[in-house]
């Protein structure tokens, strides 16, 4: 246990001065904060000298380990040459042009346009503003509503939090009007008694169509989805889900924006989650692994049709009045270029494909644990949902959730993993091998036994 009450300790200083976000306060008060000093390979080290295998990849982003020399060199070289710039007033860094080109090259689009942000939340906000601007420019100002899904995660800014389908946003009085949430396609949890997976999927598509018709298709600007819900607890869609809903959206002329902040650049075993699930997106939202987490960077990648429409909308008012001081930051873009090279050309994605079957085998075996409800995942992202009673899938209740207790027991074993609702989530770095996967799962199993 850390020592938040020892005067002048790192923990006490953190408790006194830091407003911690997304932190379970009962756990924080019980265990104190963990103050990290550095990382090496897949491991992190804290002020007490303890080391942890990071099964979180930082926050899904540090997929190449904490000390990748190529990324550090790219960062240093760019910093020496041109350390900062924006992308306004017709001026931009050469490196941001290069990364835009590269992103279109690796995207599913033949042509396109890229807009840079600092984060995934800002990229989703930007995409929503683009939809609103395009529709207004085209004389359809009423086409403003955004559909996402219950349990989805799209960020924390006022718009992206409104898109997020998590109940905690009620504490902010969100969602804003016009943000609608369709069903979460999680068959294991939401399938009805006697309903087959195919019937469940058909119901998801039917309900989406009913929502669109109820609201009026002409009022809906876009549908955003993560190919696999990440922060919702790693929820791959029910079988056939995207095949079933895409025709519904097409029928009503509603664009599909694939939020690939987590899935993009290899997490599902393909470059894009859209590729894994046969999604034909109109635009892609990217961040996280885009820089292997070494620099903050988000991107909106507009596909062919959107690129044209957006350019026309901006030409009409002679400007796209939007952007961040660090949009197209040259150091972030240099790191992005290197990260894409490492993941796609130097074998990291290939490694995900190679080790995923072993990852899934060990993950699936956890469902047999007395606490195990559903083990689910794809590529190198997985979750074990724990249950109080297996047969009825009854969730646990209580102030400190069982998943939180499991994650704490993992910390005691030197493993960082994440409790999300009733699930424990694993999204290890892409540089894992079978030995490291064994260490990760063995530690998790020990933690599960301790809590059971």
Residues that bind ligand PLP (CB under 6 A): 119-121, 124, 153-155, 226, 230-231, 259, 261-262, 287
Residue corresponding to tokens 């796609």: 344
Question: Closest approach of Cβ 118 to ligand PLP, in Å?
Answer: 8
Question: Closest approach of Cβ 155 to ligand PLP, in Å?
Answer: 4
Helix (H) or strand (E) segment spanning residue 241: helix 241-251
Angle at 28 between CA 24 and CA 32, to 5 degrees: 160
Tokens of 10: 């790192």
In this structure, are strands 220-225 and 256-259 parallel, antiparallel, or unpaired? parallel
Closer to ligand PLP by CB, 161 or 334: give it: 161
CA distance 443 to 208: 41
Tokens of 445: 């199993």
CA distance 260 to 108: 12
CA distance 246 to 280: 8
Q: Does residue 175 have a cis bond before it (omega within 30 degrees)?
A: yes
CA distance 289 to 296: 10
Residue with nearest beta carbon to ligand PLP: 120
Closer to ligand PLP by CB, 4 or 281: give it: 281
Closer to ligand PLP by CB, 74 or 290: give it: 290
CA distance 130 to 310: 7
* Contact in structure between 266 and 288 (CB atoms under 8 Å): no
CA distance 287 to 57: 14
Question: Closest approach of Cβ 125 to ligand PLP, in Å?
Answer: 9
Closer to ligand PLP by CB, 32 or 293: give it: 293
Closer to ligand PLP by CB, 120 or 382: give it: 120
Question: Closest approach of Cβ 264 to ligand PLP, in Å?
Answer: 9
How far is Cα of residue 90 from the mean position of the Cα atoms in its chain? 32
Question: Closest approach of Cβ 120 to ligand PLP, in Å?
Answer: 2
Closer to ligand PLP by CB, 32 or 419: give it: 419
CA distance 303 to 234: 27
Closer to ligand PLP by CB, 230 or 269: give it: 230
Question: Closest approach of Cβ 171 to ligand PLP, in Å?
Answer: 18
Question: Closest approach of Cβ 447 to ligand PLP, in Å?
Answer: 24
Closer to ligand PLP by CB, 137 or 156: give it: 156
Determine how many CB atoms are found less than 10 A away from the CB of residue 370: 11
Closer to ligand PLP by CB, 7 or 167: give it: 167
Dihedral over Cα of 138, 143, 149, 152: its sign: positive
Question: Closest approach of Cβ 232 to ligand PLP, in Å?
Answer: 9
In this structure, are strands 43-46 and 415-416 parallel, antiparallel, or unpaired? unpaired
Question: Closest approach of Cβ 214 to ligand PLP, in Å?
Answer: 26
N- to C-terminal Cα separation, the chain: 21
* Contact in structure between 153 and 60 (CB atoms under 8 Å): no
Closer to ligand PLP by CB, 148 or 351: give it: 148
CA distance 103 to 328: 13
Task: State how far the alpha carbon of 41 is from the alpha carbons of 4, 68, 70, 366, 446, in Å.
Answer: 28, 8, 13, 26, 23
Question: Closest approach of Cβ 239 to ligand PLP, in Å?
Answer: 21
């Amino acid at each position: 246990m850390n020592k938040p009450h020892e005067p002048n300790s790192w923990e006490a200083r953190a408790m006194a001065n830091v407003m911690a976000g997304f932190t379970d306060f009962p756990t924080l008060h019980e265990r104190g904060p963990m103050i990290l000093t550095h990382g090496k390979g897949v491991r992190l080290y804290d002020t007490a000298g303890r080391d942890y295998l990071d099964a979180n990849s930082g926050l899904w982003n540090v997929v190449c380990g904490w000390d990748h020399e190529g990324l550090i060199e790219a960062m240093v070289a760019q910093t020496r040459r041109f350390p900062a710039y924006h992308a306004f007033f017709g001026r931009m860094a050469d490196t941001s042009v290069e990364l835009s080109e590269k992103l279109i090259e690796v995207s599913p689009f033949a042509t396109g346009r890229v807009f840079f942000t600092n984060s995934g939340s800002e990229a989703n906000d930007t995409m929503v503003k683009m939809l609103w601007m395009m529709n207004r420019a085209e004389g359809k100002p009423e086409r403003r509503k955004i559909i996402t899904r219950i349990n989805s995660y799209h960020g924390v800014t006022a718009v992206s939090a409104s898109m997020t389908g998590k109940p905690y946003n009620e504490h902010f009085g969100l969602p804003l009007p016009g943000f609608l949430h369709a069903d979460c396609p999680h068959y294991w949890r939401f399938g009805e008694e006697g309903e087959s997976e195919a019937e469940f999927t058909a119901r998801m598509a039917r309900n989406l169509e009913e929502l669109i018709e109820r609201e009026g298709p002409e009022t809906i600007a876009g549908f955003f989805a993560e190919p696999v819900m990440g922060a919702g607890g790693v929820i791959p869609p029910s079988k056939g889900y995207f095949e079933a809903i895409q025709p519904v959206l097409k029928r009503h002329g509603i664009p599909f924006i694939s939020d690939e902040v987590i899935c993009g650049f290899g997490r599902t075993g393909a470059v894009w989650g859209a590729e894994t699930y046969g999604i034909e997106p109109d635009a892609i939202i990217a961040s996280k692994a885009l820089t292997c987490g070494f620099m903050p960077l988000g991107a909106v990648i507009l596909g062919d049709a959107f690129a044209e429409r957006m350019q026309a909308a901006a030409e009409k008012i002679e400007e796209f009045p939007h952007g961040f001081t660090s949009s197209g930051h040259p150091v972030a873009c240099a790191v992005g270029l290197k990260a894409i090279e490492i993941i796609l050309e130097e074998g990291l994605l290939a490694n995900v494909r190679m080790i995923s079957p072993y990852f899934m085998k060990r993950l699936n075996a956890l469902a047999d644990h007395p606490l195990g409800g559903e083990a689910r995942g794809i590529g190198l992202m997985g979750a074990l949902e724990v249950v109080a009673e297996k047969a009825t899938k009854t969730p646990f209740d209580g102030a400190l959730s069982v998943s939180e207790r499991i994650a704490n027991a993992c910390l005691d074993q030197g493993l960082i993993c994440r409790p999300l609702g009733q699930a424990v989530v694993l999204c290890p770095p892409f540089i894992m091998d079978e030995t490291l996967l064994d260490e990760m799962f063995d530690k998790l199993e020990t933690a599960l036994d301790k809590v059971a």
